[in-house]
Amino acid sequence: MIILAAAFSRIIPHMPNFSPMDAITLFAAAHFTRKWQVFLIPFAALWLSSLFINNVIYSDVNSKFIWIYPGFHWQYAGYALIALMGLAIFRRSVTPGKIALGGIGSGLIFFLVSNLGVWVKEGFYEHTFAGLVACYTAGLPFYSGTFFGDVFYTTLLFGGYAALTYQFPVFQSRAYQQ
């Protein structure tokens, strides 16, 4: 339920790239014992919230129903890499330091992968090293939204879960019990 609520917070007006998706993916890596859930749950949250955004919020812009938006694979690849990083970081335990490392790393992964996608696909930049640097430079102003979103949602998800399990230990995952 926490992940579902966080995913649909994407529809609330916010600064560009202020998104819960990095934190959702990290949280899944830290707490789901079945590896397929670490990937499926964040992907499903992204896809469902994107369906709503593309077909309800932007319905006046889109004349056709959009099941999958162009360039989606760059976002999903970024979240797959974040999930793999989270699985490696939280392999044995979940600690505040690992959560902070994951939050910083996830934002950097998303920034690098999504801007690489812009450079490869959009045609705004020459396909040279200088064009790639220009693309990443142009994306820097959007990184602040990613950073603040990661700080907010990582704190909300991990902190909220820690508070919930402190109050009700039955909800505690195996990651905390090792």
pLDDT one-digit tens code per residue, 57-112: 888 887 889 898 888 999 999 999 999 999 999 999 999 999 999 999 999 999 99
pLDDT at residue number 178? 40
Lowest mean pLDDT among 58-62, 90-94, 144-148, 153-157: 58-62
pTM score, whole prediction: 0.88
**Residues whose CB falls within 8 Å of the CB of residue 4, separated by 6 or more in sequence, listed in order:** 45
**What is the residue extent of each domain of the chain?**
2-169
pLDDT (tens digit per residue) in 15-74: 888 999 999 999 999 999 899 999 999 999 899 888 888 898 888 887 889 898 888 999
**Residues whose CB falls within 8 Å of the CB of residue 59, separated by 6 or more in sequence, listed in order:** none
